[in-house]
Structure formats: C-alpha cells, structure tokens
Amino acid sequence: MSVSPEAHPGALAGIRIIDLTRVLGGPYCTQILGDHGADVIKIEPPTGDETRTWGPPFRDGDASYFIGVNRNKQAMALDFTKPEARELLFRLLDDADVLVENFKAGTLERWGIGYEQTLRARFPKLIHARVSGFGSDGPLGGRVGYDAVIQGMAGLMSVNGERGGPPLRLGIPIVDLATGLNTALGIMMALIERGKSGQGQFVEASLFDSGVALLHPHLANYLLNHKTPGRTGSAHPNIAPYDCFPTKTVPIFLAVGNDRQYAIFCKRLGVEPLIADPRFATNRDRVANRDALAALLQPVLDTLDGHAIAERLLAEGVPCGPVLDLPDVIAHPQTIHREMIVSEGEYSGFGTPIKLSRTPGGLRSVPQKFGQATRAVLAKAGYSEAEIDGLIADGIAFGPRDEAP
C-alpha cells in the first residue's frame, strides 16, 4: 500500500525531534514518532549510521537494515567533535521538543552539551531522551551494550532454546526493539507531563533494564517459587497445551489458555475422552502431564491439514495458527487488510502497528540518503547559502555523497 503524507499528518504533528541515534533502538524509537507525524531530523556523524553498511541486501548503497527503521526523517550530518557543529546543534534545539541520543555516557558532557551540564538550563522545556546499554549509573553504568550481549546477560537466552539444549539467541533483536518502544513511551509520558508543568526532563531507557523487563513469566515464576527456569523449546512453562505441533501439512502453534478452550479443542479433534481424563482436567494437571497429553494429540494432528484445522479452531475461539514463512506472512489477507506492508516507489516496509482512528500515522517520506537534507535543514534554521557552503567546506556539516554498496 502507498501512503501520502497529506492523508496522515499524524497525532504528533508539530512536535520536533532532533535524533542523534544510530543502529537500532534509537532509530526504531524515532521512526515510531515520525510515523505519527513528528518532525524528525536525524543527524549522523561524518561516517554515517553504521547500519547503512549492514548488508546485504543493499539498495542504492544503503542496507535494508538501515532502510527498515529510518523512514519519515530528514537526514543530515554534523561532526560534533568540532565546536561549530555543537553551536549549530544549539540553534536546532531552539525550537525542538525532544533530543534523542545514544552516545556513550560522558560523551555529550565531554563536548559541553550534557543535560544537567548545559541543556536543562538553556532549554528548560526540552525533553532529552537517552538510549543506553546499561543506564547511566550502577556497577555497569556507562558501558556499551549490544542486543545479543544483553539477551545473554539479562537471562533471555537462558530460557530460549530446545529442552536440554544450549541457550539460544532470539532470532530478532528483541532487546533493541523493546528499548526503542520504551524510549518512545517515555518520551510520550514526558510530553504529557510537560503539558502540565511546562518543564522538560531527562528520559532514559537502557537495553539491560528492558531485557530484564521482558522476562515475564519466567521472572515472576522465579520470584514466587525460586526455581531456576530451564529451556522448553516452543512450550509455555505455565500453560498446556501451548506449543508448536506438526501436522500433515504445516506446523501449527496451539495456545489453549483455559478449560473451555481445551474442551472445544478436544471436540474439534474428536478426542472427547481427554476432556474428562483426570490427568488433563485443569491447566495445572495438563502442565504436570504435558508430555503424556502431547503424545496423545500428535497422532491425530498428523492426519490433519494445519491450515484448515487452525482456521476452524480460531473461528471457534481457540487460539491457533499456522507457522508461516515471511513470504506467506506478507501475502496473508490479514497483513494486507491491516496495511502492515507499506510502499512508495522502490521503498517497502512494515506498516505502523499503532492504529489511531482520527489521526492515523503512516509513511510520509522514504528513508533518505546520507546528508540528503543537510542544506534544507540548515536553511530553515536561518543559515545563508554561503554559510552552508562554508560549513560543508570546513567539514562541520556534510551533504549527500555516493556510497558504494
């Protein structure tokens, strides 16, 4: 689906965000805000956001990794190691609502632009949001964090993997994405509070904190029973049957959450005696005897078409679905109806999952090339054409350049 900017001004229209982030957590956050109408100015270092090189695949020199989380932003570049670039940033912050960055702790302070050091007094209404690895304080405060490292340190890998197998990294950068969501949520909270107090504040979301907060229900279980959880493959530690099951065609994921759903499921499969079987009468019983239950269900499921049985069960209120590959996900009627793939020219990306009835968000501009909007942003900030030429000639600001794929 193609989306026009005029059709979707967005709930955040009029909010201006200066985005100094790179890689994933920060850019994912600012793309969410940009999708819903915020004016996002993405400022990259002279070397560019490194995810522009994280490929293949590439399009026109930029990797899909970068393209996937950097739409609805104006791309410019500055060298903040130079005082003139920092003064330029101050000018951009004069009418900004939010500054988002993911510099290593202490970097901005070293440049004289830390929040408590400078920004709070100079821009009292500014919301300064930081995406960090471990937070600004504590034994690991200020250390650099990467998604996979935090998946290990925060315990996510310890509960992910096959039963009896080694810890396994989740196949998506779940910690980075969750931290981006948490940062966006924190910014929205601060904007709402600013509407009451008139004051900005510092917002921080760290990968480590976000990783720990993703541990439900394993952390909740441990805090209650003090038993270290193990790996259970696709099975749920608290619910059964709640697992991936092979069928005659495609695997299905079955998520039976209560006794009513269990009874409907058994009737649909023609195994009514399992409803009254005392080994499976309640969820507690089914969890205790999950292997015996699976052994009885699997021969029946082996005779069924996964797509058909999943559709019937879902229609009858039993959560179940086929396990699909990405081409099937993209072509799925629900994906299409919910506009979860958007496109404009050669650009395609996932649609916004946040649906607002009156002020819907969407695709307003495709991801820009390095430095594409530098001149336009500086001109809007009041710099003359000659001044902009000088800033670029002096290596303070950077315009577009060709990048090899």
Question: Which residue numbers are catalytic?
Answer: 176
User: Which token pair is 152?
Assistant: 């290990």
Q: Are the beta carbons of 136 and 105 closer than 8 angstroms?
A: yes
Please give the helix or strand (H or E) that residue 321 lies within, else none. strand 320-322
Work out the angle at residue 170's Cα, subtended by the Cα atoms of residues 330 and 239, and round it to the nearest 5 degrees.
Answer: 90
Mind giving me the DSSP string for 50-101?
GGGGS-SSEETTEEHHHHTT--S-EEEEE-TTSHHHHHHHHHHHTT-SEEEE
Please tell me the distance from the alpha carbon of residue 359 to that of residue 345, in angstroms, as a whole number.
24
* Closest C-alpha to 204, from 105, 69, 86: 105
Tell me which residue has tokens 């695709």: 363
β-bridge pairing 98-101 and 74-78: unpaired
Please give the helix or strand (H or E) that residue 205 lies within, else none. strand 202-206
Q: Are the beta carbons of 59 and 346 closer than 8 angstroms?
A: yes
Q: Are the beta carbons of 240 and 287 closer than 8 angstroms?
A: yes
The H-assigned helical ranges of 126-258 are 147-153, 174-197, 207-213, 218-225
Work out the angle at residue 395's Cα, subtended by the Cα atoms of residues 393 and 399, and round it to the nearest 5 degrees.
Answer: 75
Please tell me the distance from the alpha carbon of residue 41 to that of residue 321, in angstroms, as a whole number.
40
- Distance in Å from the first CA to the final CA of the chain: 27
Residue 68, CA atoms < 13 Å, CB-side half-sphere: 14
* Closest C-alpha to 21, from 212, 180, 213, 200: 180
Q: Which residues contact 205 (CB under 8 A, 6 or more apart)?
A: 25, 129, 130, 131, 132, 179, 182, 183, 186
